[in-house]
Structure 1
Amino acid sequence: MKKFLLLLASISFLNFSYSQEIDKLDFNLNLETSHIWNGIIVSKAPAAGIDINYAFDKKNNLKLGVWGGVGLSDANGKHYQEVDYYFKYNTARWGLGIWDVFNNTDLTGKADEIFNYDNKTTGHRLDLRGYYVLSENFPLKLDVVTSFYGNDRNAKGDQTFSTYTGLTYSVLRDKKVDLDVFFGTAFNLGKGYNFYGDGTKDFDVVNFGLTVSKDVPVLGYKLPVSATAMWNPSRKEGIIHLSTQLF
């Protein structure tokens, strides 16, 4: 009887531990009318973003994940596809992470070379990304992204180290409609030009605009929706973008 009770207790403990691990595993779905990132219109077609992640701590600050973007229709004869891997630590005030970005929408040659990590030929790009928020009372956020390996090369194959720096300020918070304004620049730390601009300048203003967001009631559920007006002066482009996270 004692052996049976001991076995039952062991199974219960293992089941509890397993349940705790499963609670750290999550996935999310985002739908958007286009896909934009730091002043770049990555896809003009509607897209879905799927995030599968695992949290290593109870506060869900430290995460390992894979993010995938896919176009829901073709735009200009191209079908948007992206698979990214990340390891990051985020809080309300600051964050730091490493991203492996693989967007095979515009790759020349074989678009399925997802396992090629040769620095001279890979379609992968490794980014170091971080942000810092000044304070709760003065919510000015600084974003910095630096590419340090892979698909960020000049014509000679040298690493360009394209770097983006952006400022975002929350003008309205916890209102019926929240409002953020943003401004971003880009430059290169290596030889060549950064990929955020038109490829003719070492330093560019590549991003400015505003984002409004609110919760929209849908069948008794508050659906978070945001609308962004974004312009890239260097590329001479602009777009209105709508996004929602379903779960």
Structure 2
Amino acid sequence: MFISEHLKTVILKKTKNPIQKYRTDLPSKKQRGCFQDLCLYSCFVFGVLNTTSAQEEIREVEYKPFHIGAHLKNMHTWHGSVVHPGAVLASHIEYNSENTKFTFGLWGGASFSTVDVIHTDTEENVPAYYKEASIYSKYRFSDSFFVKAVSHNNYTEVEERGDDPHYWGYGKTQGYNFVDLSLGYHPIPDALFYFATIINGGSGDYELQNEGTLKNSWTHYFEVSGKVWENKNSSLSLFAGGAWSFLTNKTFYTTNSGNIINVGATFTRTLAFGTYALPIEVMAMWNPEKELTVLQLDIMTL
């Protein structure tokens, strides 16, 4: 590689005065030439290093539209309920727009253990593995505000109890597909106000009326969470959530009227293995209505 004449001219102009200032210490033109060459070479090396550093920084923020991840959990909980009491392996694949505002993804999981369910025809107990394949979409209006929609598709027990699974079925009584729409607001970066509504009932979110009709609950869920402590590789967050309905006494999460159903703390620690980071999360959750307390372990891959 070489230095262009234009660059050499610019550098010489910028280094003219320092060379002249100390010219009495350089007894020959040859030494002055060597000093100028040294300055030129130093400036050139500095420029190359800066260019390389900039290129590396560009590579670090290179746009990657698709992302995958996985979770290994000792159990699976959601909004104060235990979805499956045994070990679960879950994964996701998602698309993110280049401006990071839009996300679309698939989330699914399967269990290592079974739960007993009653077969509709034989009325016998049969084992059923947890299995789910849900769809989600998220749009971020700003760093503080987002909207999210999830189609929850949990197929645990469906075939085992003698039913036929329908991926796009959202009837009130089919019991495994429903949609919720949620809003999220960060008043500060480490805190979140989260509000979700189960749309048009679905999956048992209804109340049986005296005349035998089914009335949609349209269950609402609100949660407040925030980080209260943090160091280099660990953090502690607290959360509290409740559910209610403006239309019925029964909700998707509660047996009667609305109630506080999800209180607890989450401790997260990131373990480093060379350049690879492995986040581990332990969540202690208490549901006062169901008198349920669990400790969930979640090992995540980024």
Q: Secondary structure at the match of 1:74?
A: strand
Superposed displacement of residue 239, structure 1: 0.6
More helix by share: 2
- Cα offset for 1:167? 0.7
In the TM superposition, what is the alpha-carbon distance from 1:120 to its structure 2 partner?
A: 5.7
Instruction: Report matched runs for 1:25-174 at 5 Å.
Output: 25-55=66-96, 57-76=97-116, 77-90=127-140, 92-107=143-158, 109-110=162-163, 112-118=165-171, 121=174, 123-136=176-189, 139-149=190-200, 150-151=202-203, 152-155=205-208, 156-174=213-231
The verdict on how the C-alpha distance between 1:111 and 1:83 changes in structure 2, with shifts beyond 3 A counting, is farther
Which residue is 2:253 aligned to? Answer: 196
The separation in 2 between residues aligned to 1:190 and 1:83, in whole angstroms, is: 29
Structure 2 CA distance, aligned partners of 1:157 and 1:122? Answer: 14
CA change 1:118–1:183 in 2 (3 A) is closer
* One-letter code aligned to 2:222: T
Deviates more, 1:113-122 or 1:77-86: 113-122
Shift of 1:24: 1.2
Match of 2:51 in 1: none
- AA of the residue aligned to 2:234: V
CA gap 1:43/1:111 in 2 versus in 1, 3 angstroms: farther
Cα distance in 1 for partners of 2:257, 2:218 equals 11
Q: Which moved more, 1:88-97 or 1:142-151?
A: 88-97
Q: Which runs of 5+ in 2 are unaligned?
A: 1-62, 117-126
Structure 1 alignment gaps of length 5 or more: 1-21
Asked if residue 182 in structure 1 is aligned to residue 239 in structure 2, the reply is: yes
Deviations 1:212-245 (A, max 9, x none): 0111134652211110000111111111011121
**Distance in 1, Cα, partners of 2:206 & 2:104:** 27
Moved over 6 A (4+): none
Q: Does structure 2 retain, via aligned residues, the 8 Å contact 1:225–1:242?
A: yes
Q: 1:233 to 1:67 in 2, by over 3 A?
A: same
- 1:118, distance to aligned residue in structure 2 (A): 4.3
Which runs of structure 2 are paired with 1:225-240 in the superposition (5 Å)? Answer: 225-240=280-295
Specify the code of the residue in structure 2 equivalent to 1:73.
S
The SS at the match of 1:79 is strand
Separation in 1, partners of 2:174, 2:242: 27
Higher Cα Rg: structure 1 or 2? 2
In 1, the alpha carbon distance for the partners of 2:170 and 2:78 equals: 23
Work out which structure has the larger RCO, using CA pairs closer than 8 Å and 6 or more positions apart in sequence.
1
Aligned-pair identity (%): 22
Aligned residues: 221
Distance 1:112 1:224 in 2: 35
**How far does the alpha carbon of each residue in 1:38-96 deviate from its partner, in whole angstroms, 9 at most, with x for none?**
111111111122112112x2143301111112112224544211111112114642221
Contact 1:116/1:122 (8 A) holds in 2: no
